């Protein structure tokens, strides 16, 4: 019996020993997990905040690939309380889009904050378990002077002022860090400094800032440049000495040429513009695309020439057998039978023109003005004294493929993708020649009016050409 009791005691001791070892191992395992739990930052730049919400102040920023210690979580595990390599503590969004944790976030201890509904940078974090260390420093809001941002697009233009009408002073690439200096009134543009000391302005939507852009101080910016006026695509427009088709032609402006808007006439139907060589003249408002309301321009006297205005077409029937009158306010005289051809001149309502020929379907008529200018007018804008079908047919060479820019400003890149550097910028309604495409037609190779060749996204080009008919090119 004593032997049996002795054996029972031995088994009891063994059981107690194994139980003790198991419980001890679990405690050590828990402490080890709490001490070694880490996460890797999975996004370009991640804000560390003073509380578990985007409404809390930004304490610091950690960059992609950095490792942080996991100290705790909020009640629903949507935010993690972390410590950075520099010993700064704070909260980060626990989504897998932002961090890759070594343990399940839900396995961490819950940490609460004493911050009120309107969070401030002085909120104190209070752990609910002694296993989670209490923060030893009070986070403070980042100083705007030291604030930074990461470029979030392939290539970003740095401009001389807060807007696309300002000149480009430099270009910075995706992933580059810039210093934030200030902002414009509505925080849509940020003033920044590059690593080489160059200062300029960038679009706020194309950077990932370490602080709210609205928290930056307002920065002084240069006066806005006079608005560039993209000439109507495919056009050769007459530059006149006054605001009327009856004033003499003093020059011309061509497709894509940028001119400066100087003023307007009283009813805002004509613009006074200045060319790069200093020459000034007048263009009809309907033939240009302004970047500001025309009424913002000053009213200017249009009688820049003392010469008597001369009409561009006759007011009496010509001596030729076939003639027509213009039945609309102003008809464009084009270099070929289609709106894709450049404008040679403009003929006013009631003016007479001589009929020379027609296209094969009689939708356009070739005409001659009294000043001997020759061109084509849409047949629907003419009242003819003969049937247009009685005129001889003239075959005109087909235009090469072209397109129009449909966005305010479009980067021309060195290759078919947003990762390629920007080599130029084209503006809304500017025409480009289509040279080719990439395999899926998402990018087009184009030639600009300057002769420069590059690539643009086909999503921002309007063309009558079937993209798949263009050759695939490098």
Q: What's the pLDDT at 354?
A: 93
| Lowest-confidence segment of 325-339, 368-382, 457-471 by average pLDDT | 325-339
Q: Is 217 exposed, middle or buried (0-12, 13-18, 19+ CB in 10 A)?
A: exposed
Which of 224, 256, 201 is closest to 428 using CA atoms?
A: 256
- Residue with token string 């998402």: 442
SS3 state of residue 70: strand
pLDDT at 455 over 90: yes
Structure confidence at residue 138 as a pLDDT band (50, 70, 90):
very low
Who contacts 186 (Cβ-Cβ below 8 Å, separation ≥6)? none
User: 3-class SS at 181?
Assistant: strand
CATH number of 144-215: 2.30.30.40
CB atoms within 10 A of CB 94: 24
pLDDT at 231 over 50: no
What pLDDT was estimated at residue 469?
A: 83
CA distance 346 to 343: 8
| 323-390: CATH, from 2.30.30.40, 3.30.460.10, 3.30.365.10, 3.40.50.2300 | 2.30.30.40
- Residue 50's SS3 state is coil
Which residues are registered as beta bridge partners of 54?
none
For residue 366, count other CB atoms closer than 10 A to its CB: 21
Residue scoring higher pLDDT (288 or 29)? 288
Residue 140 has pLDDT above 50, yes or no: no
* pLDDT greater at residue 278 or residue 185: 185
Domain ranges, ordered by start, for the chain? 38-127, 144-215, 228-296, 323-390, 402-469
Name the CATH superfamily for 228-296: SH3 Domains (2.30.30.40)
Q: Tell whether the model's pLDDT for residue 452 goes beyond 90.
A: no
CA atoms of 400 and 411, how far apart (whole Å): 23
402-469 adopts what CATH topology?
Answer: SH3 type barrels. (2.30.30)
Domains 38-127 and 402-469 are alike in CATH topology: yes
Instruction: List the structure tokens of 105.
Output: 């976030």
CATH homologous superfamily of 38-127: SH3 Domains (2.30.30.40)
């Amino acid at each position: 019996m004593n032997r049996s009791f002795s054996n029972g005691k031995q088994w009891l001791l063994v059981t107690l020993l194994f139980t003790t070892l198991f419980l001890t191992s679990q405690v050590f395992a828990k402490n080890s997990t709490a001490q070694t739990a880490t996460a890797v930052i999975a996004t370009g730049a991640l804000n560390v905040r003073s509380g578990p919400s985007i409404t809390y102040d930004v304490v610091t920023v950690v960059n992609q690939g950095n490792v942080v210690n996991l100290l705790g979580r909020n009640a629903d595990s949507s935010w993690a309380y972390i410590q950075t390599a520099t010993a700064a503590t704070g909260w980060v969004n626990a989504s897998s889009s932002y961090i890759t944790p070594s343990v399940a976030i839900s396995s961490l201890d819950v940490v609460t904050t004493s911050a009120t509904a309107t969070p401030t940078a002085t909120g104190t974090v209070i752990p609910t378990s002694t296993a989670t260390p209490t923060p030893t420093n009070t986070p403070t809001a980042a100083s705007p002077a030291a604030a930074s941002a990461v470029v979030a697009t392939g290539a970003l233009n740095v401009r001389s002022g807060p807007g696309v009408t300002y000149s480009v002073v430099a270009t910075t690439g995706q992933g580059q860090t810039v210093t934030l200096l200030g902002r414009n009134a509505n925080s849509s543009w940020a003033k920044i400094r590059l690593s080489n000391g160059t200062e300029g302005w960038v679009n706020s939507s194309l950077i990932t800032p370490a602080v709210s852009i609205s928290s930056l101080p307002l920065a002084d910016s240069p006066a806005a440049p006079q608005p560039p006026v993209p000439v109507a695509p495919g056009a050769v427009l007459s530059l006149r000495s006054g605001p009327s088709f009856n004033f003499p032609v003093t020059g011309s402006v061509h497709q894509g040429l940028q001119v400066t808007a100087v003023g307007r006439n009283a009813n805002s139907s004509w613009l006074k513009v200045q060319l790069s060589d200093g020459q000034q003249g007048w263009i009809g408002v309907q033939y240009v695309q302004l970047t500001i309301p025309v009424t913002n321009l000053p009213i200017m006297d249009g009688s820049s020439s003392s010469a008597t205005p001369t009409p561009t077409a006759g007011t009496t029937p010509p001596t030729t057998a076939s003639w027509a009158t213009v039945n609309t306010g102003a008809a464009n005289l084009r270099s070929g039978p289609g709106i894709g051809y450049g404008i040679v001149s403009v003929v006013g309502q009631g003016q007479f023109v001589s009929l020379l020929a027609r296209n094969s379907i009689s939708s356009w008529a070739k005409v001659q003005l009294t000043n001997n200018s020759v061109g084509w007018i849409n047949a629907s804008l003419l009242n003819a004294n003969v049937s247009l079908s009685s005129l001889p047919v003239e075959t005109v060479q087909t235009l090469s493929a072209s397109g129009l820019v449909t966005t305010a400003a479009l980067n021309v890149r060195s290759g078919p993708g947003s990762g390629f550097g920007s080599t130029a910028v084209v503006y809304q309604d500017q025409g480009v020649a289509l040279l080719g495409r990439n395999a899926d037609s998402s990018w087009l190779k184009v030639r600009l009016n300057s002769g420069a060749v590059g690539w643009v996204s086909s999503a921002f080009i309007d063309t009558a050409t079937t993209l798949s008919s263009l050759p695939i090119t490098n």
